[in-house]
Structure 1
Amino acid sequence: MAEAKTIDTNTLCTWLETGQPVSILDIRPLAERMEWYIPGSIHINAYDKLKKNDTEALNGLHLDKAIPVVTFCAGGRMSLVAAKLLQAQGYNVFSLDAGMKGWSLAWNTAELAFDKFKIIQFRRTGKGCLSYMIISKNEAMVIDASLNIEAYEKYLLSEKAVLKYLAETHIHADHLSRSKQLAELHNAPFYLPIPNKAAFKHTALKDGDKIQLGKIIIEIISTPGHTAESTSYLIGNKILLTGDTLFINGVGRPDLKANNEEAIHKSKLLYNTLQKLLTLDENITVLPAHTSQPVDFDNKPIQTTIGSIRQNVAILQLNEEEFIKTIQQRIPPTPANYLAIVEKNIKGDFSDINPVDLEAGANRCAIS
């Protein structure tokens, strides 16, 4: 039998973006499926059977043989076994090269347009990382760059925009920041909120600072809690980029790089921060730095409003004491790679490692 065919992440992304019919088959154990997955994929818990060379592992699977099938697992090895079995059954099948580890770099976009500016939301669909390009009068600012810099370069070129500024909402723990790379490439100022431990040259941002971009003003709002330096960006009085402080259905975790006493203190800071944000106009659109679900290729921005958050995020209805207690009870396990990623982002250099290896896995930034 011929070797199973493979497909890379970029090609599968193109298929999904263009609406090409495809059946995507997840053969991983259920626990891995629960962590993260490819949007629209079908799950069959066949990994252990495939590992034991069980030729009947995929029996009972009935897919349209007129539509290509893509199998995937964690690293791309066992999905080759699945692909060969399906190939023998007459399917046109491909195995996803590098599996979910490779898929961690998959991305898509969505846009929001206003009179004086537009925002492009870049979404790492597997990890749920969200970054932003704000464009006004052909001037651009990128915030929380988490993708390979070629993604942002592509849009700068298509929008005929000049990259004026780079910024972060905070020092991230679940992905490697590409902002410093972009800043150096374009000789553009790189803004970081204070207090931070960054070991490289940057321009400090503090509460109340303002940045002029084209025809709009971007206002800096200090929002500590998730981290000491966590900051939100109010854009044209219409959009609030909240980083990992406030999500569309939850709030940020306050425990990273903190002992229990420090986590309680940060929880208090987070409570006060969130109460401050909830006083903003209810029509302001909130755009976070992460989402807890895989991002569909649907061109629909991941967004909500201050008013919707006030009404629908139950944890924000609690008083300070109840909020702190609830936060402490709901903190998710800390992924093993978080501290290593923080250290790389503080240093501003990850040239000595393979980003795919360090970044693999879903984010666990939110508490709901």
Structure 2
Amino acid sequence: MTHIKTINTETLRDWLETEKEVSIIDIRPIQERAEWYIPQSIHINAYDKLKANDKSAFQGLHLQKNIPVVVICAGGKTSLIGAEILQNQGFDAYSLEGGMKAWSLSWNTAKITFPNFKIIQLRRTGKGCLSYIIVSNNEAIIVDASLSVEVYQQILEQQNLTLKYVIETHIHADHISRSKQLAENNTVPLFLPYPNKVTFEFEPITNNTIFELGDIKIKAIKTPGHTLESTVFLIDEKVLLSGDTLFTNGVGRPDLKANNDEALEKAKKLYQSLQTLLSLEDSVIVLPSHTSQPVDFDNQPIQTTIGFVKNNVAMLQLDEKDFTDTILQRIPPTPTNYLSIVELNLKGDFSDVNSIDLEAGANRCAIS
């Protein structure tokens, strides 16, 4: 019997990070692939054949025998069948342990550097969650922590940074927030936008709260709409951490945890908040909290500018009524498990939660 080789997500992440040659074969049904996928992967319509243990599932697939092949499915079971077939055909084939569910926590980084500060963008590559470490004069603030606490700790230690605060743009609905744990582990204040319904202690962020970090100042700007507490952060007048209010190609959805009337009211608030942001200098760089595409291992920050979105995101050129009508007509499907995730983020206790199952799937925060 063939010993089927497997690979974990950390190893595959390292391979992609170091640009090792690898063929990644996605055998999920096409509708699952359309939701989210691993960068560089190739989709093969082989799922039904593999379920039937059909040895011809990969017929017509041309791969180089000297390059490792990683087969992926949703949970790491059907991919075992695929890896075994490819191994028997002479390929150095592996099944990805835990499949796309496990891949959800994989990440990579990109960096933007300015004369007196830098920003590290941490990206959950499959899920599209973006978090940030702002650094000035060896002091750091972490924003919207969505990865395991160990990832941030490792970067803080490697770069000899002193964590000063942990902050959030809003209460998230698609991932478990690691901010409370991060603040507790480092004995630093946790700042959250106000008003908000969390059941644990925090320092409130109000309009125009100023965070001093090293040689720079970071100003909070209230932007209700996506959620009522949504807040963005203007760093040194040069960079806007725009949360889920403004994306590189769209805006935040206003309908979660809202009935139709409440969604309309939130859409109106979102319009007004966006007008505030569009009045900033055109050169201000926009760094959102999510992207709707899988994030390549290319070290390129996911960013845009106020000037670019003003001219290229059509709905930002509409008046209030047309904007709200358009937004409410384009609401995407409701995110999986979002109510459970919000409730957990309000409680701040995830000790008995399987985060991989809970967070599986792409984010659906944006309307474009």
Same fold, TM-score > 0.5, yes or no: yes
Aligned to 2:191: 191
Using the TM superposition, give the Cα deviation of residue 153 of structure 1 relative to its aligned residue in structure 2, in angstroms: 0.7
Aligned to 1:214: 214
Which range is displaced more, 75-84 or 149-158?
A: 149-158
Aligned to 2:301: 301
Using the TM superposition, give the Cα deviation of residue 333 of structure 1 relative to its aligned residue in structure 2, in angstroms: 1.0
Equivalents in 2 of 1:315, 1:227: separation in Å?
A: 19
Aligned to 1:258: 258
Deviations 1:270-320 (A, max 9, x none): 001111100000000000000000000000000000000101101111111
Partner AA of 1:91 in structure 2: F
Aligned to 1:74: 74
Equivalents in 2 of 1:45, 1:265: separation in Å?
A: 44
SS in 1 for 2:307: helix
SS in 1 for 2:296: coil
Task: Check the 8 A contact 2:165/2:190 in 1, yes or no.
Answer: yes
Aligned to 2:7: 7
Confirm whether residue 289 of structure 1 aligns to residue 284 of structure 2.
no
Deviations 1:124-163 (A, max 9, x none): 0000000000011111000000000111011101111111
Confirm whether residue 87 of structure 1 aligns to residue 87 of structure 2.
yes
Equivalents in 1 of 2:84, 2:198: separation in Å?
A: 49
SS in 2 for 1:204: strand
Gap regions ≥5 residues in structure 2: none
Using the TM superposition, give the Cα deviation of residue 336 of structure 1 relative to its aligned residue in structure 2, in angstroms: 3.0
Q: With structure 2 as the length reference, what TM-score do the two structures score?
A: 0.99
Partner AA of 2:20 in structure 1: Q
Deviations 1:58-117 (A, max 9, x none): 111110111000000000000000000111111000100000000000000000111111
Q: In angstroms, what is the RMSD of aligned CA positions?
A: 0.6
Equivalents in 1 of 2:353, 2:166: separation in Å?
A: 23
Aligned to 1:320: 320
Aligned to 1:204: 204
Task: Check the 8 A contact 2:8/2:97 in 1, yes or no.
Answer: yes
Using the TM superposition, give the Cα deviation of residue 49 of structure 1 relative to its aligned residue in structure 2, in angstroms: 1.3
- The number of residue pairs the alignment matches comes to 368
Task: Check the 8 A contact 2:336/2:361 in 1, yes or no.
Answer: no
Task: Check the 8 A contact 2:209/2:219 in 1, yes or no.
Answer: yes
Equivalents in 1 of 2:255, 2:179: separation in Å?
A: 24
Deviations 1:328-355 (A, max 9, x none): 1100111230010000000011111111
Deviations 1:227-254 (A, max 9, x none): 0000000011111001100000000000
SS in 2 for 1:256: coil
Give identity over the alignment, percent: 64
Equivalents in 2 of 1:108, 1:280: separation in Å?
A: 30
Q: With structure 1 as the length reference, what TM-score do the two structures score?
A: 0.99
Equivalents in 2 of 1:125, 1:336: separation in Å?
A: 18
Aligned to 2:270: 270
Map 1:1-368 → 2, pairs under 5 A? 1-368=1-368
Equivalents in 1 of 2:209, 2:56: separation in Å?
A: 63
Equivalents in 1 of 2:48, 2:317: separation in Å?
A: 44
Partner AA of 1:232 in structure 2: V
Equivalents in 1 of 2:209, 2:320: separation in Å?
A: 28
